[in-house]
Amino acid sequence: MNNPLFYAKILLFGEYGIIEDSQGLTLPYSYYKGSLKFSDLDSDFILKSNSSLKKYTEYLETLELPSEFLLDVERLKNDIDKGLYFDSNIPQGYGVGSSGALVAAVFSKYAIKKFEPETISKDELKELKKIFGLLESYFHGKSSGIDPLICFMNLPILIENKESVDKVNIPAEEVGKGAIFLIDSGMVGETGPMVQIFFEKMKTEGFRKTLKEEFIHYNNACIHAFLKKEMNPFFRNLKSLSIWAYEHFKPMIPESLYKAWKKGLDTNAYYLKLCGSGGGGYILGFTKDYEKADEMLSGFQKEVIYRF
C-alpha cells in the first residue's frame, strides 16, 4: 500500500500507573485512523497539517538518533514541499493517540531501515519504544513512546514495566451481553496539565502509598484477569479501580461524568475509568449488560469497542 493506515489506540489499563511502573494494556482502535498523503494544499485542514509537519521536521533535525533508527529527513522535507499532509480523523485531546499515529506514519515512511511489525523481537520493541518517545516528545514535552509504538505495530501491547513491552493476544470478541465502550465527555482534554496534577499529588507520601499499594494492585489484577478471560475477578478488581479513581483522580474526571461515574458504582450496572490522562476526551466504560448500561447512560454519546 502506498498510504498505509495508522489506527488510533486505546489504553485499557495503566493510565498514570505506567509512570510508576505498573503494567498497562493497550489496543489499536480502527474506528479512527490517519495516513500520509499528497495534496494541492487546497483546504485549511491540509494547509494546517502541512505547516505542522514542516515545524515537526525542524524538531526532527535536532535529534541525534542511533544509526539503526535514522530518518531520511531530507526526503521528508522535499515531500512536505510537494504537499505532504497527515489525513486523519483521530480527534485531538481525546486520549486515543492522534500524535502517536502521526509519529508512527512518519517513522514507517521515512525510517532508513524498515521494520516489519510481525517480525519485531521483544528487544527491538524496547528500543523502538525509546525512539518513539523521542519522536513524540515534540507534542507532549515528554513521551513514553507507547502511543506511537501501538499505532506502528497495530497489535495489542502489554506494558510489563517502564522498560519492557511485549506483543500480547487478547481474548477473541464474542456476541455477548457484555461490552467495553467509550463515552464522549464532550470536552477536549489536555495531557500536560493533567500530568502536572498527578505529579503534584505524587509529592504527598499518602498518595504515593495508596497508588502503589492499591491502584497498581487493582490495575495489574484487571489486566491478568482480562487476558485470562476470568470475568468475575476482572469486574471485582475493576470496581475497586473505579472507586479508587473516583476518590483520588477527581480532577482528571470530566465534570459532566461525576454523577454517571458514581451511579455506576452504586448500581453495579457499569464501571467507568479514565482513558489516558483524562480531563476530557473519552472515558472508558465496562459492563456485563450493555443494553442496561446504554439506557442508564442515555444522553451520552457512546461507542462500543469490544464485546464479550
Sorted by where each begins, the domain ranges of the chain are: 6-167, 179-307
User: What is the per-residue pLDDT for 218?
Assistant: 98
Q: Which three cell numbers stand for residue 50?
A: 502541512
Extract the residue ranges of the chain whose pLDDT is less than 50.
1
Fold annotation for 179-307: Alpha-Beta Plaits (3.30.70)
Q: Which three cell numbers stand for residue 295?
A: 439506557
Query: CATH classification of 6-167 is 3.30.230.10, yes or no?
Result: yes
User: What is the per-residue pLDDT for 189?
Assistant: 81
What are the Cα distances from residue 180, in Å, to 219, 220, 283?
A: 16, 18, 11
Q: Which three cell numbers stand for residue 227?
A: 487476558
User: What is the per-residue pLDDT for 1?
Assistant: 43
**Prediction pTM value:** 0.86
How many Å apart are CA 292 and CA 297, to the nearest integer? Answer: 9
Output Rg (C-alpha) for the chain, integer angstroms. 20
How many Å apart are CA 228 and CA 175, to the nearest integer? Answer: 18
Contact 146, 160 (CB under 8 A): no
β pairing state of 157-159 and 179-184 = unpaired
How many Å apart are CA 162 and CA 20, to the nearest integer? Answer: 8
User: What is the per-residue pLDDT for 220?
Assistant: 97
What are the Cα distances from residue 31, in Å, to 5, 117, 153, 207?
A: 11, 20, 16, 36
Q: Which three cell numbers stand for residue 272?
A: 467507568
Contact 223, 25 (CB under 8 A): yes
CA angle 19, 22, 27 (to 5 degrees): 90
E strands, the chain, are: 6-13, 24-38, 84-88, 157-159, 165-167, 179-184, 271-274, 282-287, 302-307
User: What is the per-residue pLDDT for 35?
Assistant: 96
What are the Cα distances from residue 56, in Å, to 51, 120, 162, 173, 214?
A: 9, 26, 26, 38, 40
How many Å apart are CA 270 and CA 4, to the nearest integer? Answer: 36
Q: Which three cell numbers stand for residue 11?
A: 489504553
How many Å apart are CA 82 and CA 177, to the nearest integer? Answer: 50
How many Å apart are CA 105 and CA 113, to the nearest integer? Answer: 14
How many Å apart are CA 177 and CA 127, to the nearest integer? Answer: 40
β pairing state of 282-287 and 179-184 = antiparallel
